[in-house]
Structure formats: C-alpha cells, structure tokens
Structure 1
Amino acid sequence: MPTQSLLPNGEQPLRGGMLFIAALVLALANFIAVLDMTIANVSVATIAGALGVTSSQGTWVITSYAVAEAITVPLTGWLAGRYGAVRVFVSSMALFGISSMLCGLSNSLGVLVAGRVLQGLSGGPLMPLSQTLLLRIFPKDKAALATALWAMTTLVAPVLGPIVGGVICDQAHWSWIFFINVPIALICAWFAWGLLKRYESALEKTPIDTVGLGLLVIWVGALQIMLDEGKNLDWFSSPIIIALSIIAAIGFVAFMIWELTEEHPIVDLRVFRHAGYSTGVFTLVLAFGAFFGLNVLTPMWLQQYMGYTATWAGMTTAWSGVLAVLCAPFAAILSTKIDSRALVFAGVSWLAGVSLWRAFGTSDMTYWQIALPLLVMGVGLPFFFVPLTGQALGSVEERETASAAGLMNFLRTLAGAFATSLATASWEDRIQSNHADIVTAMNPLNQVDIVGMGNASLAQLSSLDQLATGQSVMLATNQIFMIIAVILFVAACSIWIGPRATRAVDASAAH
C-alpha cells in the first residue's frame, strides 16, 4: 500500500470517519452562516409585529446582519494569518452560537439588532474559512470533492432559508429561527477544535492596519445600508441615500488607495494582479448576482401575486437544490479532468437557458409549471460554482489562498445584496409601467366616466383593474427573467477572457 502524502505541516490528511465528521462540521458551519442571510427575509413582518415596530424598522434585522458580515468577510485572510485559521474558525463558530441565543432571547428591536450585528461579525469568517479548512484536511486527490461540498452548501442554503423561516413562523415562535443555530454552532465548534487544531498554520505577527479597517467599515457599511434602504426611501430623491452614496464612493476610493500602498494591508487587493482570478471573480459577481436575483424575485412573486404562502413559496424554490446536490459529485470529478473554464461556461449557459425558459410564464401557471424549470436549473449550479472556485483560487499563489477566498466571498455577498435591491426595484417599477400601458390600451381615450356609475359597473371596473394588475406583474416578471438570462449569458462568455488556472487547488493551497 503506498505511503500517504503528508500535508505541508507534516500531518497526515484525515481519512475515513474522521474526515467525514470534519467535513460535516465545516459544511454545517458554512451552511448556517449562509442560511442566516435569508432565513429572516420571510420573517420580518412577524418579528416586527411581535416587537411592536413597523415593517420598515424590521428590515434592520436583515440589514444589520448583512453589513456586519460584509465587513468581516474580506478580513478573513488577515485574521487567519495573525491568529490562525483554526482558532478564528472555532471562535467565530462559538460566538455565532452565543449571538444566535441573544437574538432569540431579544425582547426589543435594539437588542435584536445588536445580536444580529454580532451574528454577522462572527458569521463572516465562517464562509471562507470553512472552504480553506476543507482544502486543508482533504487529501490532495479529493480536493475537488471538498470544493464541491462547500459550493453546494453555499448554493442550497439561500434556497432553504425562506422555507425554514416560513415554516418556523407559521408553526412556532419567530425566535426559533435563531435558536436552531445554537446547538449546531456550539457542537460544531467543539468538534472542530478537537479535530482540526493539529492543522493550525504558523502565525504571522503583522501589524494591525487600523486605517484600512476603518475605511472598510465606512464604505461597506454606507454602501450596504444604501442598497438595503434605497427602495424604501425612493433612492436618490432622498438626501439620506445621496449622503450614503457619497460616503461610500469617497470611502471606497480612499480604501483602494490605502490598501494598495500599505505594506501590511488588512485586505490583500494585490491578488487581483492574477488575470485568472480577476476574470473568475468578475464571472462570479455577474452570475451569482443574477442567480440571487432570481431567488429573491421568485418567492416574492409567488407570495404577493400567485397566492402562495411563505412556506409553499419556499418549498417551490427549493427544487433548484435537488439536482444541484445530485450533480455535485460529477462536477467535482469533471473539474479535475476538463478545463474549468469550459465547465463554467456550460454551467452558467445552462442557467441562462433555463432563465430564458422561465421568461415566458403566464398568470395561470400550475405548481409544476413553476417548479419544473427550477428543478432543471439545479443541473447547472454545480458546474458553475465548483469549477469557478477552482479556477479563481488556482490562479493565485498558495500563500494568497485565504485572502483570495475571503475576497471572493465578500464580493459574492455584495453582488447578492446589490442584485436584491436592483431586481426588486426594477420589478416594481416595471409592474407600475406595465399597468399604466395596459390601462391605456384598455381605455385609450380615457373616457370612462366613474361619476354616476352603478355598483355593478364599479365592480366590473375593479375586476378589470385586478386583471390589468395580474398581467402587468406577469409581464414584469418575464421581463426581469429575460434580462437575467442575458446577464448570465454574458457571464458565461466572460470566463474565457482569463487564462486557465496555473495549478490545481489542493490541500497545500490552504493558508
């Protein structure tokens, strides 16, 4: 029997049952961190009502988590280098459980928002570090499988979030959307330390880039709040949104200048010098943003205009994860044998084709007419995400893997937030525009005289208005799906701009 290859730190890769448990722990960590990005989306109204605040104030439950998470994700590389990837991961996991308990016990909006901020701060590093540590513990010949496992939890968790949130709010108290994290986080932290502490990397005592950290908090915080609150405040007609956009723009420029000239930057932007990485990230931002926009619009459309409950809307969108999980092993195998760029092109093109299919919906669609395209879409997901991760991280130097992974997750999170705001705002604008056009077509000379109408005529007019609204919504939905299909096709083609990855991402790449 051949001798097992050692990892860079001299340790043997995990095998058998220990590898399975460690992989499960890391996958669960990533899963709950991503899940909490969407689990509260369908619960805002319930939480707001229970705490005696408005729905607009209730959206801070989402915004506070997103802002805190977006800030800590790109810091992962620096944190891992200074304190050790395993220590940061275990600490983040334990803090995530504690902050989830605080959220569940909250009796006011202020306490809940504070808990969500802590949850976001601790959840941010879990995503890139779970990826880095999976690559560290898996044998070199199974690195693609590790990437596939991580990618599937990243893609499936946002889909399941609305389901879990909807079911809990319908069947139990809203606090359980946070309480369910507590045992998972604490148990995973305990197992992770026992299994992974011997795989800790050497520490780098680099100085703290306090200026870079401050600029990061300012521009990311301002941008995230602007994206989340823009629709509620009517975008740039609000002086608050204008001020936030100016702060974000100035902060971003200052951050870029500082980080590119700082000897020990808190975010290593120099990884973008690798063309393969830059192209991969560009493709990721376009494709994931478009995919996330689809995920956000579908349950909104189903709940607001198709008569679906939150639970059923979530269960409908969940079909996209079924074939994704089944196809993930094949994507992992093929990514070791075929140019990853070809797989990314095929996967994203598949998503574009299904989005085009969905752009011809009707207002009387049955459940399976809606669910079937979502089921089929799942085939393309692993062929997009798994090889794209390998292509991007395989284009940077081994010592840059943690920083590169953190930046990828940061930009993916930002793309999702931007896509959410842009897709929903565009959808609502198109509904209003389509409604106006349909009403004009129904009554081109605007000669309907409402004064003196009988009840029967008013009822008929109301019925026509409802019909116009239903058709305008369906038209708007189809139009957005068509735009998303075009964006996905552009993203598929963009992967060919960069060169093929210079190396395979394996256990030795983790930092």
Structure 2
Amino acid sequence: METGFRKWIIVITIIVSTIIELIDTTIVNVSLNTMSGNLGASLEDTAWVITSYAIANVIIIPMTSFLAQTIGRKQYYIGSIILFTVTSALCGMSTNLWSLVVFRFLQGIGGGALLSTSQAILYDTFAPTERALASGIFSLGIIIGPSIGPVLGGYIVDNFSWQYIFYVNIPIGVMAAILSFMYLKPSQPSREGKKIDWLGVVLLAIGVGALQVVLERGETEDWFSANYIIVLSVVAFLCIYIFIWWELTVKHPVIDLRVLKSPTLALSAIMTFILGFGLFGNVFVFPLFAQRLIGYSAFQTGLMLLPGTLLAACFSPFLGRMMQSGVRPQYLVISGFLSSAIFGFLLSQSNLEVGSDYFFMPLIFRGIGASLLIVPLTVLAISELKPADIPQGAALNNMMRQLGGSFGIALINTYITHRAATHRNDLVSHITVGDYFTTQRLSALTHNFIAHGAGYYDATKQALAALEGTMIRQTYLLSYTDAFALIALMNACCVTLVIITIKKKRKALQKSSVTVADH
C-alpha cells in the first residue's frame, strides 16, 4: 500500500500504460486503407496487422500472473513497457507488411502484459478497503482506450502519416518506464523451486492463437470453406481441451483454473465476456454505420463517441466510492446492462436521415453502461478470492473481456453479412418490371438525369445504378440495425441472469440463517 505523492504517480503511470495498450487495439482500424496502399499489400493481408496484435494479447493476458511471479512483477512490468515501446518504433519503421505484422505481434505481447499487471499493481497500491476505488480508476483505461483509438487514428492519418500511429507511443512509453523504475516497489521472483509449466504455455499459445485466427479471419475466408480455418479450428479445440485437463492436474500450472471454483468469479467471467462482446462490438459496428451510411469521416465518428466516453471516465471513480459505502455491485451491473440494452435498442431504430444529434443520447447510454459494468464486474470477480489468487483471477477476467471482444467482432461481422444477404433478397423481390413503385422511381430518376444533360440511354443506366445504390444502403441499414438489436437483446438477457443469481443467493443465505438458528 502506498500513500501521498508516490501513490498518485503510480496511479497516473498505470492508467496511461493501460490506455496506450488499449488504444492500440483500435487505432489501426481506420488506417488500413492507407497502410495497404503505402506497403503495396492487399487490404485482406493488411488486416493481419490488427489480427496479430489481438492474438498476442489474448495469449499473454492469462499468463501474466505466472510470468510476474517467475520474473518479478516490477521487472516484468518495466520489461513489458520497454518491449511495447521498442516494437512501436519498429512498427513505424517497417517497410513491408510482414515485418510490420511480426512487430505488431511482439507489441501485443508487451501490451497485453500491461493490462493485468497494471490491475494487480493498482490493488497493491490501495488499501484493501479502497479496492473498489482502484477498480474504478483502472476502468478509465478500459473505457477510454478503445473509444478514442479511432478518433486519434483518424486525426493522425488525416494530418500526418500512418507511421505516427505507432510513434506516438514512444514518448509515453519512455516516461512510463522511467516512472515505474523510480516509484514501483522492488519485487523478487517467487518461484520457490517451482518448475515452469512449459506444456501449459505451449498448449495455451497454440490453442488460443489458433482460436483467435479463426475468429479474426473466419468471415473473410467464408469460415469452413478454407482448409486452414478447418485445421485451426480442430487444433484450437484439441489444445484448449488438453490445456484445461492439464492445468487442473499439474501441481504448478501456468494458469490456476482452480480459482474458477469461486461461483462469483465464474459468473463474473461470463458477464465480462458479454461486456467485451458489446464493448468491442459497438466500437466495431457504430463507426461502420456512421461512415458507410451516414457519411461521417473517421475523425467525426470518433468525436461522436467522445462525450459518452468522457462521461464514463468521470463517473467511474465515483462507482468505486459507492460500492465502498455499501451499494451492492449486482445492482450496478443490472443498471449497466440496462443502459447498454437501451443503447442497442435506440440505434436499432435508426434510419438514413438521422444526424449527429440523434446519436448523442444513445452514445451517452453506451458510456454509462460501460462504466456501470466494468467497475462492478471487476470488483465482483475478485471479491471472494484469497489475496494470493487475486492476480490470477484478474488475469482470467481480463482475458474473458478480450476474448468477448474477439468473438463480438467476428460474430457480429458474420451476422451483418448474413442479414445483408437476407435483406437484399427481400428487397430485390419487390423490385420488378411490373411493380408500380419501381417503375415510378426509375422514371423519376431517368427524367432527373436527362434534365441534367444526360442522353436517354445514359440516363437510364444512371437511374438503374442509383436504384441499386439505394438498395445497397437500405440493405446495410437494416443489417446494422439488426446488429444493434442483437447487442440490445444480449444485454437484456444478462439483466435476467443477474436478477436470478441475486434471488438464488438470497434464498441460500436465508436457508443458512434458518439452519444456524435451528442449531
């Protein structure tokens, strides 16, 4: 536990490190087109810049507790910052795609390690009675990072070159490493003669890595139409199955899955998965909706996300104090899922005529929902764990959020594609030569183009192209609103899950009270 100036220097260092790690999960998304052109690669291949970082994140996050104990937490944390900073510079200096992909993977190894280690350091910095406040502060990075990534990336790409997306990490990383060296308490490795669980490390890396590739690339490859997706799916299943069996039997596992015996941690992990699904899914779908259909730039889209994000950032520390004063986290979780469901429902009612004013309130609900979920779920996840198990529980919870995000992006992308095909077929069935409204629309469009100087033949072609464009926009409007409705439904189902859990826990407490009274 720390006090005074030292305490808040550590807090600032931790939050900044968390933010830059999570910014890098989304900052690249808006610059793929530019990278693709500059590096002479296809857009499909360039997407590996995002995929490699996500794979590294999900592999390393659950291993952070083990590695921090083996190496020493301070050494591991500073080493991770240095690795993240150096590879950020190497990413910016890359002259071909595949060297960039390799450096992004290494950057993800350094960045993923920061997430759970940062959380464990924060918990040690605050007194046990202030753990909820620590969770509130930690949530700032989780909320702010993914949301401001697109706006920062859009601004950099519009005004500088794509390399500065990575160079911006260098001064921040250097400062974080220096402050960590000066102010973090020294920590010694605590292996105590334990053997390193190399089989667990290998199984985890292969299993989670293969699963992540399937999730990230499945939609692009039409899922099981590609042989390598089939092979990787089998590899992922076998490796994860054997990994779970091995970790539950080996004496010193790389990930102690026994902590999941805590029902609260297990339930929190499930809800954190759904939180990640919605959090990253929203950040994926909303920019597509705003840019492709409404016509906003990447920077404008990011600015629309900003008010809700800032409100959530201001709100989060107070949630910690509320829980310290006795407010049950379960009630905050219910409010968070309700707010997230309202966000999805309101956007599912959108049309092509809406402007930025329409999005303001839904995005406020999104920000409030995220803050009401991240802090209480983090507190709930570790609430029943022994102090020695907290780092492991925190790492597992963080992994579930990242996995939820990967599943969310992959499944929502697939869902949008399938809904688009369904809606297109429905719309095409109404556009026929004999349909009165189709004939009237084509006639009006043709006369409009003729009035602007086109010949009859060219005007007819332009009218057909305009009708096709309208149909495509309507198709994707319906598909995106379906995706928002799906997110709303998932969040609404979680409300029911939490209420059932509260009732069961209350009955169990009443039963135990009656038993004690009888004795």
> What's the TM-score once normalised by structure 2's chain length?
0.90
Contact 1:137 1:199 in 2 (8 A): no
The alpha-carbon distance between structure 1 residues 208 and 340, as it changes in their structure 2 partners (threshold 3 A), is same
1:471 to 467, 471, 474: 474
The number of residues matched between the two structures is: 488
* Separation in 2, partners of 1:167, 1:292: 20
What RMSD in Å do the two structures reach over aligned CA positions?
Answer: 2.2
Structure 1 residue 155: Cα displacement: 1.5
Equivalent in the alignment of 2:334: 345
Are 2:469 and 1:481 aligned?
no
SS of 2:296's partner is coil
Q: Quick one: which of 153, 168, 182 aligns to 2:141?
A: 153
Match of 2:389 among 392, 400, 411: 400
Distance in 2 (alpha carbons) for counterparts of 1:239 and 1:52: 26
Q: Give the C-alpha shift of residue 230 in structure 1.
A: 1.0
Give the structure 2 partner of residue 305 of structure 1. 293
Shift of residue 242, structure 1, vs aligned partner: 1.2
Paired position in structure 2 for 1:460: 463
AA in 2 matched with 1:255: F
2:89 aligned to 95, 101, 111, which one? 101
* Larger RCO (CA under 8 A, 6+ residues apart): 1
Counterpart for residue 241 of structure 2: 253
2:74 pairs with one of 41, 66, 86: 86
Shift of the 313–224 alpha-carbon distance from structure 1 to 2, 3 Å rule, reads: same
Mapping of 1:86-485 within 5 angstroms?
A: 86-198=74-186, 202=190, 204-336=192-324, 337-443=326-432, 454-485=457-488
Deviations 1:412-470 (A, max 9, x none): 111101110111221122123212211212328689999xx833333322222222222
- Partner Cα separation in structure 2 for residue 188 and residue 250 of structure 1: 40
What is the alpha-carbon distance in structure 2 between the residues aligned to residue 369 and residue 271 of structure 1?
A: 45
SS of residue in 2 equivalent to 1:454: helix
Q: Which residue of 1 aligns with 2:29?
A: 41
Pick one of 4, 17, 20 that aligns with 1:29: 17
Contact 1:35 1:157 in 2 (8 A): yes
1:330–1:406: structure 2 CA closer, same or farther, 3 Å change rule? same
Match of 1:65 in 2: 53
- Provide closer, same or farther for how the CA distance between residues 270 and 498 of structure 1 changes in structure 2, counting only shifts above 3 A: farther
Matches of 2:365 and 2:278, distance apart in 1: 17
| Separation in 1, partners of 2:280, 2:361 | 18
Q: Decide whether the 8 Å contact of 2:265 with 2:381 is kept in 1.
A: yes
AA at the equivalent of 2:496:
C
Structure 1: gaps spanning 5 or more residues: 1-12, 502-511
Letter matched to residue 479 of structure 2: A
- Following superposition, the deviation at residue 318 of structure 1 comes to 2.6
Structure 2 Cα separation of the partners of residues 292 and 124 of structure 1: 16
Alpha-carbon distance between aligned partners in 1 of 2:188 and 2:145, rounded to the nearest angstrom = 28
Query: Which structure has greater helix proportion?
Result: 2
In 2, the alpha carbon distance for the partners of 1:143 and 1:272 equals 20
| Cα separation, 2, equivalents of 1:341 and 1:263 | 34
Query: 2-side partners of 1:338 and 1:200: how far apart?
Result: 37
More off after superposition, 378-387 vs 197-206:
197-206
Counterpart CA distance in 1 for 2:365 and 2:406 is 25
Identify the residue that residue 452 of structure 2 maps to in structure 1. Answer: none
Deviation for aligned residue 1:226: 1.0
Secondary structure of 1:396's counterpart equals coil
Q: For 1:154 and 1:204, locate their aligned partners in 2 and report how far apart those are by CA, in whole Å.
A: 34
Shift of 1:247: 1.1
Cα deviation code 1:200-228 (max 9, x no counterpart): 68554421111111111111111111111
Which moved further from structure 2: 463-472 or 97-106? Answer: 463-472
Deviations 1:240-290 (A, max 9, x none): 211111111111111111111111111111111110100011111112212
Letter paired with 2:23: L
Unaligned stretches of 5+ residues in structure 2 = 443-455, 507-519
What letter corresponds to residue 272 of structure 2 in structure 1?
L
* Partners of 1:225 and 1:198 in 2: CA distance: 37
Contact kept? 1:69, 1:121, Cα under 8 Å: yes
Question: Counterpart amino acid of 1:463?
Answer: A
Deviation (angstroms), 1:319: 2.9
Range that drifts further, 374-383 or 25-34: 374-383
Conservation of the 8 A alpha-carbon contact between 1:276 and 1:498: no
